[in-house]
Amino acid sequence: MMRKLLSNPTVREFLRVVLAVLIALVLGFIITLLVSKDPINAYKAFMFGPLTKLNRAGEWIKESITLTLLGLSIAVVFKANLFSLGAEGQMLFGALASGVIALFVPLPAILRIPLALVAAGVAGFAYGALPGYLKAHLNANEIVSTLMLNALALRLYDYILINFIKPPNAGYNASDFFPKEGSLPNFIPDLPFLHDFRQIFVNQANITVMVWVAIVLTIVIYYLMYRTPYGYELRMLGANLKFARYGGVNTKRTIVLAFAISGMVAGLAGAHLAMGIHTKLIANITIALGFEGIVVALLARNNPIAVPFAALAYGYLRAGADIMERSSDISREMVLIIQAIIILLVTAEYILPVVQQRIESRRNNDKTAPGQALPEEGENNVI
């Protein structure tokens, strides 16, 4: 039974990721032992802090929502065997577009909030399509173009915020708080029989309706990847560019759309930061979160259904790191060490080489050399 279970590629991938995280946590604890005067309590705060209070759990969930959107955004590009560092800039434009609507468009909440989300998605879509076009039609390196476009987006965002949005007498680079009509409502409906329960979450956790948007987008992206002609073209492009071209796939259109769809989802992540977490536009609103989506996509192996779970796990580590920093003598950089170890282990070819070697040997009736294993058919690894 166990052998049959381990022969399932999905189970092996799950075990591989879990093992990578466990190894990273053990190594993180060893480092904590070396640098902390009270390593037990420090790591206890790291491992269990997000669950000790409702407001801490709320911060974990809110951050995980943003990470889910970013993971979905990156997974679309990775599935095409491309690479994008542009989520940061796309988030900034999404935050800016949604913030302008939330602040200055005098509509009721039922119209203003959907309009702001649409504006964020459109802004991210347009800014994501730009590096896609450069890659498809000019063969520009997508890593360089997306990274440079991030810098451009940051300067434009700061310029518009400081010169056109920030109140004249404000001593800091931030807009006014959004009105209630321009802020994302709580994820629990305002119904009479849910009033008391809802008030607890509004006052303590303040988790917004973006949690439902993230769930819907997860389903939509999965359906797009695996149940549509475009998804087939995307996966074929990721498997082999030349084969896809010879097979009749419009590779240029597929590349542009991959970056554009990725940008749209990242733009919605920016809207969540602006309208759901900060409820205003501030300088450095993304806090380099765009790059964290890469980790989430890698943990999920570019599977949209796995992205929310990877985001919850990684968001938990980030939330625990914040609590550890506030309650011990360990700095938040500890989570960066754990993050780096996770990336190294997850992106390694195999974490369970012996088990996989035996499975492949039985499957092919041929002995594999020690320390080697045959790659999975159709596996699309990025990095």
Of residues 18 and 281, which shows the higher confidence score?
281
Q: In which residue are the tokens 């450069």 written?
A: 134
* Residues 11, 5 contacting (CB under 8 angstroms): yes
Q: How confident is the model at residue 63 (pLDDT cuts 50, 70, 90)?
A: very high
Please give the model's pTM, rounded to 2 decimal places.
0.85
6-21 confidence digits (pLDDT tens): 667 777 777 777 887 7
Q: How confident is the model at residue 66 (pLDDT cuts 50, 70, 90)?
A: very high
151-194 confidence digits (pLDDT tens): 999 999 999 999 999 998 877 889 999 999 999 998 877 666 66
What gap in Å lies between CA 173 and CA 200, rounded to an integer?
32
79-94 confidence digits (pLDDT tens): 999 999 999 999 999 9
19-43 confidence digits (pLDDT tens): 877 888 888 888 888 888 888 888 8
How is domain 2-364 classified at the architecture level of CATH? Answer: Orthogonal Bundle (1.10)
289-332 confidence digits (pLDDT tens): 888 899 899 888 899 999 999 999 889 988 888 888 888 877 76
Q: How confident is the model at residue 110 (pLDDT cuts 50, 70, 90)?
A: very high
